[in-house]
Amino acid sequence: MEVGNNFVVNVEEGNSEGQEVWIVCCTKPLHKLNGPLNCKWGMNYNERDEVVVGKYYKKWGNSYSTYVLLKDSHLVYLYSHLVRAMKFLIPPKNHHAFCNEFII
């Protein structure tokens, strides 16, 4: 997986946003951690765990296919075996919103 690629990961059933998958934009490809890590999303990782790093796209509005990439989103660290699909395009659309987010 390369930086900038989008990928999908499984989510916990009954999650707070009612989503079936999370869509993530890769910011650091598959690598081993140099030490233990507790990410901002509450996951704990051990030294030498293999992870990918990215930023979540957030579901936007009622449309099935509209997501935003949050400008100030915390990075998410994910085990590579959770990746379901990768390397697909999310074409940007021209849209105006009054918020602190990018529309994708």
Residues of the domain holding 24? 6-103
Residue 1 inside a domain? The answer is no
Question: pLDDT of 23-60, one tens digit each?
Answer: 888 999 999 999 999 988 888 999 999 999 999 888 77
Residue 45 inside a domain? The answer is yes
Q: What is the mean pLDDT of the chain?
A: 80
Residue 92 inside a domain? The answer is yes
Spatial distance between the Cα atoms of 61 and 69, rounded to a whole number of angstroms? 14
Residue 24 inside a domain? The answer is yes
Provide the domain count of the chain: 1
**Which tokens is 30 given?**
């598959």
Is 68 buried (19+), middle (13-18) or exposed (0-12) by CB count in 10 A? buried
Residue 71 inside a domain? The answer is yes
Residue 49 inside a domain? The answer is yes
Do 72 and 100 touch, CB atoms closer than 8 A?
A: yes
- Residues making up the chain, counted from first to last: 104
Spatial distance between the Cα atoms of 87 and 28, rounded to a whole number of angstroms? 14
Which position has the higher pLDDT, 65 or 38? Answer: 38
What pLDDT was estimated at residue 94?
A: 58
Mean of pLDDT values over 6-19: 82
Q: Which residues contact 17 (CB under 8 A, 6 or more apart)?
A: 58, 59
Say what the pTM is: 0.74
Say how many C-beta atoms besides its own lie within 10 A of residue 36's C-beta. 11
